[in-house]
Amino acid sequence: MSMDGGYTLRAYAPGDEAAIQRAFAEVFGVQRTLAEWRWKFVDPPRGSRIVLAFDAAGELACQYAAITVDVEWAGETILAAQIVDVFSRRRRGLGPRGGAFQRTLERFLADCAGAGGVAFVYGFPGERHQRAGAVTGRYFEPATLERLQRATVTARPWSPARTWISEGFDAHATDRLWRRSRQRYPCATVRDAAWFHWRYERRPGDRYLQLGVRRAGEARAWGVLALPGAGGGDCAYWVDLRWDGERAADLEDLAAAIEERAAARGSGRVELWLHGDREARAAMLQHGYAGSPEPLLRLSAITFDPRVSVPQVLERFYLTLGDSDHF
């Protein structure tokens, strides 16, 4: 715990969630359940980091938080932190050198870079937080992401003699496919069974369908489709994709299965991110998808490990919609 500019800065302690929830609802206009908060900050396989700033009256003024993740980096596993749920209840705190926001940010980064052992932090800031990061001088120019979409979803059957499609989470198949495919991703969140189970099986409120393409006894490609609520929705979000890279036909079969399930639920198009995987992106363009700049989010990063540079992270990081906490 420390005092800085009239604010008390400290890491999250059990019991703070009540104040965090009240401030979150005030700032974002969203009533989040305690189960959702716990899923996001208590349940992740590698935990989370939260720094809070309290004013002289003991009121929560700011939060800087991140979900900690293992990342595959050039054949090694390193620690990274995805920035989420950053807020300041005082607008003047977003200035370049003053206020709770700047002090909370600096304390958060110091904690990550020190004994925390975090190699880099990253996030998907909207326009307001991009401006705030720019005035602090801590963010590089964010990278533009691309959203791939297929405007018309049609069912295109695959050959049962070639592959078969499984539905549902399979820890064994998930781990085997990650071990076989991890070398394709020079920088990616470790997508093993523990992470997949937390991200898509345990999230309160949201529902996902996991589909696997299997051939010769092995999972060759794996996709996750976010299921719309009652009444469906025009857009279906293909939130995760892993592929061993051996045959484009396996990826095409997965796309056909995703599109068929989306169409059956009333969706008129499918959207996904494939940042950092040029081979899969090329296959999807060949399959009929079209790319356009992501309209809402961009990728920002700050690094602490000399082996990891910001330009490398912005260019190489394999990202799907499921790497964001928005889907």
Predicted confidence (pLDDT) per residue in 83-123, tens digit:
999 999 865 544 444 578 888 999 999 999 877 799 999 99
CATH architecture of the domain with residue range 147-294: 3-Layer(aba) Sandwich (3.40)
Query: What is the residue-averaged pLDDT of the chain?
Result: 88
CA–CA separation, 266 vs 264, rounded Å? 6
Q: What is the pLDDT of residues 18-46, one digit of tens each?
A: 999 999 999 999 999 999 999 999 999 99
Instruction: Give which of 193, 225, 213 is closest to 322, Cα–Cα.
Output: 225
Task: Provide the pLDDT for residue 290.
Answer: 96
Overall average pLDDT of the 3-12 stretch: 82
For residue 131, pLDDT over 60 is answered with: no
Q: Which of 255, 264, 261 is nearest to 220 (CA)?
A: 255
Q: Where are the beta strands (DSSP E) in the chain?
A: 2-4, 7-11, 48-54, 60-73, 76-88, 120-123, 143-150, 164-167, 187-189, 207-215, 218-227, 235-243, 269-272, 290-303
Predicted confidence at residue 97, as pLDDT, reads 46
CATH superfamily of 2-139: Gcn5-related N-acetyltransferase (GNAT) (3.40.630.30)
The β-bridge relationship of strands 269-272 and 2-4 is unpaired
- pLDDT tier for residue 247 given thresholds of 50, 70 and 90: very high
Q: pLDDT by residue (tens digit) across 265-284?
A: 888 899 999 999 999 999 99
Q: Is the pLDDT of residue 231 over 50?
A: no
The two three-digit tokens of residue 84, written as one number: 């989420």
Phi, psi of 223 (to 5 degrees): -130, 155
Dist. CA 219–CA 175, nearest whole Å: 10
What integer pLDDT is reported at residue 217 of this predicted model?
87
Residue 132 reports pLDDT greater than 70: no
Domain boundaries, the chain: 2-139, 147-294
- Beta-carbon-side half-sphere exposure of residue 54 (alpha carbons within 13 Å): 14
On the question of a common fold for 2-139 and 147-294, the answer reads: yes
pLDDT score recorded for residue 114: 77
Express each pLDDT in 133-174 by its tens digit: 555 555 567 899 999 999 766 556 555 556 789 999 999 999
Percent of the chain at pLDDT exceeding 70: 86
Sign of torsion over alpha carbons 232, 236, 242, 243: positive
Locate 145 and state its tokens: 């992401």
What are 50's strand-pairing partners? Answer: 65
Predicted pLDDT of residue 162:
65
Alpha-helix residue ranges (DSSP H) falling in the chain: 17-28, 34-41, 99-113, 127-136, 171-181, 193-196, 248-264, 278-286, 310-316
